[in-house]
Copies of this chain bind each other. A is one copy, B any other.
Amino acid sequence: MSLLVTGTVAFDAIETPFGKTDKIIGGAATYVSLAASYFTGSVGLIAVVGDDFPQTYIDFLKSRGIDTSGLQVKEGEKSFFWSGRYFNDMNSRETLITELNVLADFDPIVPSGLDAPDYLMLGNLAPKVQSTLISRLSKRPKLIAMDTMNFWMDVAMDDLKETLKMVDVLTINDEEARQLSGEYSLIKASRKIREMGPKYLIIKKGEHGALLFYNDKVFFAPAMLLEDVFDPTGAGDTFAGGFIGWLAKTDDISFENMKRAIIYGSALASFCVEKFGTDNIVNIDENLLQERVAAFKELSYVEMLP
């Protein structure tokens, strides 16, 4: 089934304890659409870049089956740029530079061929832009998933709450779930957040795995234990892309299939963090991916005695 993705397409400059990069390709929608492209050949991208963004990378996205007709290229302007440094624990980071550039007045224009997706993934963006995109579709998608971050809770909480009413699935991390709900207990937090709109809540916990909440059900997905986490940038977006890509491929939004989607998303994210930026997710071997998925299933499998 068709999937539409929005979010940033950008340059990042990253420092980790393992090294640093110059400007490399990044942005939520880049990671989401790349990850989803492993599962579905029908991915459309709504985003904006400046004329400094390399055509070779746009061509690469096309080669992965991603429809870039909704990627606006603004002549004479620069792409969004973010630079950050991760601390030793790799769980916390500081932002060094944020240059909004083309993102400052991003108007998500939807080409007519992309305006009726079955699945929609709203990658991290201003919540107002996310809701504008929804309003421009010709029909309500079967499932709308949304990612956001603490930044929007600080500066645009009202917009965020309006957009939350329009979506089915929210993905955030544990700190953000606590901030959004004002509850420390994640089970209480999940209840309050689901009263804000999304029926499904996914709480991403990095090296501790992920939680899926729906009605009175909870799924606790493990995280792969890796020798080293080289660069966490984009891991959450890759997770979201794998998740929504699997749902679009299978066209099954049952709780059981969402659990599988989380395993696929987690497997892709575990590749993402093993190298800088998108380096390790541009060309994942199908067998390696299936091996990683099998390892995930094995990780928490236990056969109890009758």
A residues apposed to B, CB below 8 Å: 88-90, 184-188, 205, 207-209, 211, 218-223, 225-229, 250, 256, 259-260, 263, 293-294, 297, 299-300, 302-305
Please tell me how many copies of the chain the complex holds: 2
The answer on a CB contact under 8 Å between A208 and B209 is yes
Please report the C-alpha to C-alpha distance between residue A205 and residue B185 in the assembled complex, in whole angstroms. 16
Please report the C-alpha to C-alpha distance between residue A89 and residue B184 in the assembled complex, in whole angstroms. 7
Q: List 6 A-B contacts (CB under 8 A).
A: A88-B184, A90-B184, A185-B228, A209-B220, A220-B225, A260-B303
The answer on a CB contact under 8 Å between A304 and B297 is yes
CB-nearest residue of chain B to A220: B222
A218's contact among B209, B294, B299, B302, by CB below 8 Å, is which?
A: B299
The answer on a CB contact under 8 Å between A226 and B260 is no
A187's contact among B184, B187, B226, B305, by CB below 8 Å, is which?
A: B226
**List of B residues within 8 angstroms of A228 by Cβ:** 185
Identify the 7 closest CB pairs spanning chains A and B, nearest first: A220-B222, A208-B208, A300-B300, A259-B302, A187-B225, A220-B299, A220-B300
